[in-house]
Amino acid sequence: MQYFQTPGVAEAELEREVGASIRKILFSASGEGQALLGRPVFGMLDAGHGLLQHLAEPLVAPDWWNEADVASYTTEFSRSGFRGGLNWYRNIKRS
């Protein structure tokens, strides 16, 4: 959550390649992704590195993968950016 606090930092990383960001987050958060990586993927980040550094993109779409959903998320986040969702983390104490 601390990584998300400075406006613009996480947005720049996630919006560099929106489709890849979506695929990496969805896959790495899954049981298959964590098994491939051999560890939980969300937690402390290495100093000076972003969220996506240790995430994996699937080589082949898993059975549960819905390409239409991934395309929809990619389209919408390409249009709107990630700032709205990240602002939730930035204001969590107020919530």
Q: What is the pTM for the complete model shown?
A: 0.87
**CA proximity to 54, closest of 65, 66, 43, 70:** 43
Compute how many other C-beta atoms are within 10 angstroms of the C-beta atom of residue 25.
Answer: 19
Model pLDDT, residue 43: 78
Distance CA 7, CA 41 (A): 22
* pLDDT value at residue 42: 81
Q: Collect the ranges in the chain with pLDDT lower than 70.
A: none
CA-based angle 21:25:30, to the nearest 5?
155
- State residue 81's pLDDT score: 97
